[in-house]
Structure 1
Amino acid sequence: MITNTELEQKGNVFPNNIVSHQRDADTFTFTTANNVLLQVKVIRDSVLRFRYATEGNFEPDFSYAIDDQASTGYNHLEFEENTYAFVIKTAKLVCHIAKVNLKKTIYDVDGALICDEESGFHWEYDYESGGNIVKMSKIAQKAESYYGLGDKPMHFNLKGKRVQNWATDQYAFGKDQDPLYKSVPFYTALHDNISYGIFFDNTFRTYFDFCQERRNVTSFWAEGGEMNYYFIYGPNMEQVVTSYTDLTGKPELPPLWTLGYHQCKWSYYPESKVKEVTDKFRELKIPCDAIYLDIDYMEGFRCFTWNKEYFPDPKRMVDELKEDGFKTVVIIDPGIKIDKDYDIYQQAIENDYFCKRADGPLMRGKVWPGECNFPDFTNPEVREWWAGLYKELISDIGVKGVWNDMNEPAVMEVPTKTFPLDVRHDYDGHPCSHRKAHNVYGTQMARATYEGIKRFAYPKRPFVITRSAYSGAQRYTSSWTGDNVATWEHLWIANIQVQRMCLSGMSFTGTDIGGFAEQPTGELYARYIQLGVFHPFCRTHSSGDHGEQEPWSFSDEVTDIARNFIELRYELLPYLYTMFKEYVDEGVPMLKALVYYDQEDPQTHYRTDEFIFGHHFLVCPVLEPNAQGRRMYIPRGKWYNYWNDEIIDGGKEHWVVADLDKIPLFVKEGAIVPKYPVQQYVGEKEIEELTLEVYYKHGKEQSMVYEDAQDGYDYKKGRYSLRKFKLTGKSNELIIQQHKEGKFITSYENFKIKLHGLPFKVKTIEFDNEEIPFEKVKLNGDNTLLIDKNFTELHFIGE
């Protein structure tokens, strides 16, 4: 073990003994003899904030990550002093702060150790850059595991890894490559069935070491700023993730069409090519809701312009696409071409909206248009201007969504791939260098885009997608995992990344189906799309320089597979929408890694491939070529094979058959899964019937379905429909109880109920305690029946 003395000799400085303390309601401040301050703020009974200052003064308290609407308040708070420590107690936590050195030890109220510090807080002065490198080290508990940190393309359990957060354009990145596009300095830890989280809210380049350098030590540090972090207690991982998501914010509900299938390429142009692709979708009856225009739709890659040779009448084209059910999404990058005849450039110059170097000249860098200047999106005046620029695209032309790319920010032809570190930023009135602003630049661009689209799309809901993001970006935007590759390894990476993003508060995420770089085989594309339809954001995208990558680009067999899985996606839209509503309301991730789903089962702690989609589906991609199946872990409980209704006992590995036309897919017993009829796009058909797939369970299970007008804001006025179902199965009975909320009247009058796994033959059906004849409910030979949607209780009684 390295001693503090040895560390001090290496330039590290440590707090010494506490000489004074004070309390101000929920905030406690401790001062040491060497003028270190520790501020402890009780956010909630399970959430504590720790801030350190090394010279007796805190920096102005400001964060882009923390949501103004985050829950605060506690049920119980005590403060006491003993011989060795000061003790802060809430209804869930007991925090000891050592008098001799400020080290903290955190227990639950039953005395179980949650988190202990090794060297605790320490720092060294950075003479090259100025300011402190702030550090924190903690003792790793026995068998402790670590998860989260955004888009890291490595094993889901981060134990043994060292990673960093510095948003970076990494074209065709590889397994274990780090850093990538996003900076999410939040992880969840698990030991002894106790889960807690650490959110290190520091936008400088940050590092996390999970027992790599020293076997029993976990540490994190930053190249500047404050040691400022939130400790979030579970004890269940679900509680940690939902508390973090509440702290950094939840998105608003997107329009339903955004959960459909999207098609993209670099690039679809001219207009005739766009129409050719969209016509083919309708001809082949492959559902699709969105078509994307990459940078070639612009005039010389100038943002907010159109190439009139390729797209002579954008509004007419967008309107015609809309008539055919396609919503148009366009790309907007941050680089503004230096061109005195370019109106957007002139506006920014006249109003001093571009980023500057430390000694005065504008930040200049090469991107797609050539030499560019870059708006300072950390300036609220610039964000307001940028939002206003969307009026023509959204209000006048009718574009439905915007895709922000290259916003790490990416700069070409320089080794760092980004701005020089001396570039200055407003940072909402807290002027700083790019060292501090870099990781939030993309999020603030997406924020400005979101505010513009929301303004001009009203009364419809906005849709934004971003490549770069910092914690809290989920309030404004969806995201994708960047420039991946058409390889089997990248299929594995995509699965890990989206699970990890969901565990990091950013559920509305997907990957470029098929791979952006290089050419997939038909088999690889089929396996990619089988996974992609179970990601919250579902889009095929490719670089285009290697050939076509539409669902019909490979073979008739692959086309049929793609169609079947995209149709399944559209059938499951009410299930997906319900998942999203729970994410919006409660912060529950839409995809759940197995360790999140069942942390008490140690077999889940190192699983990477399997995940839970919503609450009731178990999905596991096939990740190898020429495979006719795979081994996978089935979590504890009983699960129905979706394809043949075979019931499997979980808690162990199974060989699962999955030829090219199948993905291992299971449904939890007791689930009631809502389905729509297949549509070619959202809104094509009025929903005349909602199918409820009912999977028998001997016991109880709850399910729900949320519906509203699919766009707009009437749902906030109570015009929504939330149906909660409680299933109770007995050896000779099945009872389904329904509780309804909301004022929205669905277009359908009946449920089509399909029963799976019923262990008895139905003799009697009771509708709200009244027996009804079989012919009235149309009980069919395939265990389906039609029933009025407004039942309170359905009772199936066996012979």
Structure 2
Amino acid sequence: MRAIRYIFLCFYLFFFCTELNAQQLEWLEVEPGIWKTTIGNPEQYNLLTASGVVPYHEGLVRLEKSSFPLSKSDITAKVVDGKTYLKFPLDKTEQLFGFGLNFKTVNQRGKIMELHVDHYNGSDNGRTHSPTPFYVSSKGYGIFINSARYLKVYAGATVQRDSKNPPKVQDRNTDPDWNPHPYSDGVEILVPAEGVEIFVMGGPTAMNAVQRFNLFNGGGCLPPRWGLGFTQRMERLTDADGVYKEAMAFEEKGYPLDFIGLEPGWQSKSYPNTFEWDKKRFPEPEKMVKELLEKNIRLNLWINPYVSPDAPFYKRLFPYTASHTVWAGVVPDLNTDSARSLLFGALEKNKVSIGISGYKIDEVDGGDGYLWPDLATFPSGISAEQMRQTYGLLMQRYTTKLYQDRNVRTYGLVRGSNAGGVSFPYVIYNDYYNHQDFITALINSGFAGVLWTPEVRASSNPEEWVRRFQSNVFSPMAMINAWASGTKPWTFPEVAPIIKEFALLRMQMMPYWYSEFAKYHFEGIPPFRATNLEQGFQNITPVKETKNDNLEENPYAKAITREIKDQYMAGENLLVAPMFTGQKSRTVILPKGKWFDFYTGKYVGNGEVITTIPGLEKIPVYVKDGGIIPMTKPILHAPKASEKIDIEFRYYGSKPGIYQLYDDDGETYNYEKGEYSVRAIKISKINNKLVGSISVAQKGKPNSINKITYKMMTP
């Protein structure tokens, strides 16, 4: 009996002490529709402090008001044994999106992940280029965990014994529908720290929650106009003569080109790097940059941050580096002023200072086989784990500052990011090369607060080349990355006319892309995002319909409640449905509302599943009813700051349309001082005649519009 009492006492003390560790959460509205709570003793170094971003308050104020979207009593948190345990409620029909840049899945409910910066290696297990600790619910709210640690996530994959909504108990011996993964009513997250900050993003829609997250992280980046043009990255050991020849070939063949990317060979030594021009391959870099700029072509330089003993600043940098090396190069501690001054000083001198447009920042993601280990130490005292989670953020932050200090915008590439990176002008890329998964990543980027490019490198046949190129044109960065392959737009002569048509289409659509990126910055709306964020997909549940006296599932309702990972929204008005190698036809799920073919204006459907056979010459693209697409003439380079362009406003459908056309100088940060304009375009079809108007240009505000025309696309 005494032994039984002792055992009971031990159990009582264990559970009593555990409950004592549970914390009563107090929520404070820190921005409109955003609430914060603090558990335990949060670490001072986190994703927001690493990125240095501040909320874009003006944008948040303009959003629809939101009340706290969850039952506060159903959110629980406790600190046990130096770790923080979090649980958020989950309804039975709720879908979850986010948890970073995933490549194979969009709906993350039921997943178990460790959010860990790494190169993507084929599995949606949390190890990815941007493991953003933010998720969005189909019920219209978001959760952001502000921690720079490796977080363990159980996204509706665990069942607590005291669950308010426990799963049905099943007998595997007799129940043929026995499920090894019982229903879970919660999202649980383990933070390996003695406390953390939590932010709840209100709705009322999932899109509103995404907007609040982006605006809270500074608002999306607004690239320079030239960044939305076309870029060609050259082979690894290209020299100056090769650069000139490349630029000349694009011009002679009539292909657009706005910036050229130089790979590791621009440096005297790389892996690890000297950050010095190779004098044999590039004897006069300043002259080369100047001459290319005169042709409206910019240069972007590849780097990774690992410093060679032959770098001129190596010895001075050495005391401010990590205990472990990468490729025998030292790792600068970017949380020290001295390391930042030396590294970014090298990137400024004779690079940014002579007109280099930006950087491609490689190898700040992983993997474990070459990056610093978790047992490495840094002079700043920041742990190796926290540095792994934030190194890409730090590189983006301080390279961006080089350009901000000159009041010149940049646009580049990066391999690693995280929450806090929304406002940085960088696009993620990787070496994983699956076209279908690239499109899924493009969809997920809208939930992760990052931009992603389904870049084109090489292809085994002309069909694959065309299909990859077409979807790349409808993405944040239109790019051929030929660092290893040497491919050109005209590599497959038999399809070169198709490639040229789409390259020029990218340039024609620049007014549209630029206006959509302005919405990313000022409103937090991702320019490329999931179709389930579209209003026509909201509040639709599976229903039954009568057909031939039998009850059958509505195929449309069934389609939109499954995972949609091969079509996406491109800006306000376009739905893009890429084709993949070997496909002759594909199905497209149209949101509620009338949709029209982008190329012909022909009506295609309304809230239904359609089948399209576009041929090799087209990528399926659809425009919503009343959609307006501003287009310019085919051009080879982005317009200069003072250059005026003609714009044709293409109108689709019959519903009265309105579009907000954004304008600024396209090159500087003066828009942050209010030096921009937004002009309302209104178009209606009255008695089958088009009636269009544009609001008057404000005096003293940017106005790059020359001649205006309106075109009725729908017969």
TM-score by length of 2: 0.85
Q: Where in structure 2 are the equivalents of 1:435-584 lying within 5 Å? A: 435-455=385-405, 458-485=406-433, 490-506=434-450, 508-514=451-457, 519-544=459-484, 547-557=485-495, 559-584=496-521
Of 276, 281, 289, the residue aligned with 1:318 is 289
Distance across 2 between alignment mates of 1:43 and 1:390: 37
1:597 is displaced (CA, Å) by 0.7
1:237 is displaced (CA, Å) by 1.2
Change beyond 3 A, Cα 1:61–1:595: same
The answer to whether structure 1 residue 622 and structure 2 residue 559 are counterparts is no
What residue in structure 1 maps to residue 302 of structure 2? 331
- 1 or 2, which has the higher helix percentage? 2
- Counterpart secondary structure, 1:305: coil
The answer to whether structure 1 residue 353 and structure 2 residue 320 are counterparts is yes
Change beyond 3 A, Cα 1:252–1:653: closer
What residue in structure 2 maps to residue 151 of structure 1? 101
Distance across 2 between alignment mates of 1:509 and 1:235: 27
CA deviation string 1:751-770 (max 9, x = no partner): 12211225xxxxxxxxxxxx
- Counterpart secondary structure, 2:611: strand
The answer to whether structure 1 residue 93 and structure 2 residue 38 are counterparts is no
What residue in structure 1 maps to residue 344 of structure 2? 387
Distance across 1 between alignment mates of 2:195 and 2:397: 24
The answer to whether structure 1 residue 233 and structure 2 residue 202 are counterparts is yes
Change beyond 3 A, Cα 1:121–1:749: closer
Distance across 2 between alignment mates of 1:494 and 1:484: 9
Change beyond 3 A, Cα 1:212–1:345: same
The answer to whether structure 1 residue 137 and structure 2 residue 87 are counterparts is yes
Change beyond 3 A, Cα 1:462–1:14: farther
CA deviation string 1:476-500 (max 9, x = no partner): 3312231122xxxx11111111221
1:303 is displaced (CA, Å) by 3.6
The answer to whether structure 1 residue 397 and structure 2 residue 363 are counterparts is no
What residue in structure 1 maps to residue 142 of structure 2? 197
Paired AA for residue 422 in structure 1:
L
Tell which has more relative contact order, 1 or 2 (C-alpha 8 A, sep 6+).
2
CA contact (8 A) 2:644 2:704 kept: yes
CA deviation string 1:489-522 (max 9, x = no partner): x11111111221122222x43132246xxx4422
What runs of 5+ residues in structure 2 fail to find an aligned partner?
A: 1-6, 160-182, 542-556
1:74 is displaced (CA, Å) by 11
Percent identity for Structure 1 against Structure 2:
21
- Counterpart secondary structure, 2:100: coil
Distance across 2 between alignment mates of 1:396 and 1:93: 48
CA contact (8 A) 2:644 2:706 kept: no
Moved more, 384-393 or 569-578: 384-393
The answer to whether structure 1 residue 160 and structure 2 residue 110 are counterparts is yes
- 1 or 2, which has the higher strand percentage? 1
CA deviation string 1:75-98 (max 9, x = no partner): 9xxxxxxxxxxxxxx9712776xx
CA deviation string 1:56-108 (max 9, x = no partner): x5554863257324439999xxxxxxxxxxxxxx9712776xxxxxxx43xxx
Distance across 2 between alignment mates of 1:40 and 1:403: 40
1:714 is displaced (CA, Å) by 4.0
Distance across 2 between alignment mates of 1:14 and 1:451: 51
What runs of 5+ residues in structure 1 fail to find an aligned partner?
A: 18-32, 76-89, 97-103, 106-115, 126-131, 356-361, 759-799
1:649 is displaced (CA, Å) by 2.0
CA deviation string 1:251-288 (max 9, x = no partner): 45321000111111451512232233222211211111
Q: Where in structure 2 are the equivalents of 1:593-604 lying within 5 Å? A: 593-598=530-535, 599-602=538-541, 603=557, 604=560
CA contact (8 A) 1:514 1:524 kept: no
Paired AA for residue 297 in structure 1:
W
- Counterpart secondary structure, 1:279: helix
Paired AA for residue 573 in structure 1:
M
1:406 is displaced (CA, Å) by 1.0
CA contact (8 A) 1:241 1:503 kept: yes
Distance across 2 between alignment mates of 1:660 and 1:555: 15
Paired AA for residue 663 in structure 1:
I
Which 4+ residue blocks in structure 1 deviate beyond 6 angstroms? 11-17, 72-75
What residue in structure 1 maps to residue 554 of structure 2? none
What residue in structure 1 maps to residue 376 of structure 2? 423
Of 15, 27, 35, the residue aligned with 1:40 is 27
CA deviation string 1:320-350 (max 9, x = no partner): 32233321000121100134xx31212313x
- Counterpart secondary structure, 2:422: helix
1:374 is displaced (CA, Å) by 0.7
Paired AA for residue 597 in structure 1:
E
Paired AA for residue 527 in structure 1:
R
What residue in structure 1 maps to residue 324 of structure 2? 363
Paired AA for residue 182 in structure 1:
S
1:677 is displaced (CA, Å) by 1.0
- Counterpart secondary structure, 1:141: coil
What residue in structure 2 maps to residue 280 of structure 1? 249
Distance across 2 between alignment mates of 1:432 and 1:750: 56
Distance across 1 between alignment mates of 2:614 and 2:194: 51
Of 146, 149, 156, the residue aligned with 1:211 is 156
CA deviation string 1:274-331 (max 9, x = no partner): 2332222112111111111111111111242111121122122222322333210001
What residue in structure 2 maps to residue 52 of structure 1? 39
TM-score by length of 1: 0.76
CA deviation string 1:377-414 (max 9, x = no partner): 12244334433223323454321111111113x47xxx
Change beyond 3 A, Cα 1:751–1:449: same
Distance across 2 between alignment mates of 1:39 and 1:274: 59
What residue in structure 2 maps to residue 71 of structure 1? 57
1:730 is displaced (CA, Å) by 4.8
1:437 is displaced (CA, Å) by 2.6
Paired AA for residue 672 in structure 1:
I
Change beyond 3 A, Cα 1:92–1:139: closer
1:718 is displaced (CA, Å) by 4.5
The answer to whether structure 1 residue 304 and structure 2 residue 275 are counterparts is yes
1:163 is displaced (CA, Å) by 2.2
CA contact (8 A) 1:514 1:520 kept: no
Distance across 2 between alignment mates of 1:246 and 1:74: 6
Distance across 2 between alignment mates of 1:691 and 1:73: 29
The answer to whether structure 1 residue 248 and structure 2 residue 212 are counterparts is no
CA deviation string 1:716-762 (max 9, x = no partner): 4544332112334455565434334543453554212211225xxxx
Change beyond 3 A, Cα 1:756–1:69: same
Distance across 2 between alignment mates of 1:12 and 1:306: 64
Change beyond 3 A, Cα 1:16–1:701: farther
- Counterpart secondary structure, 1:389: helix
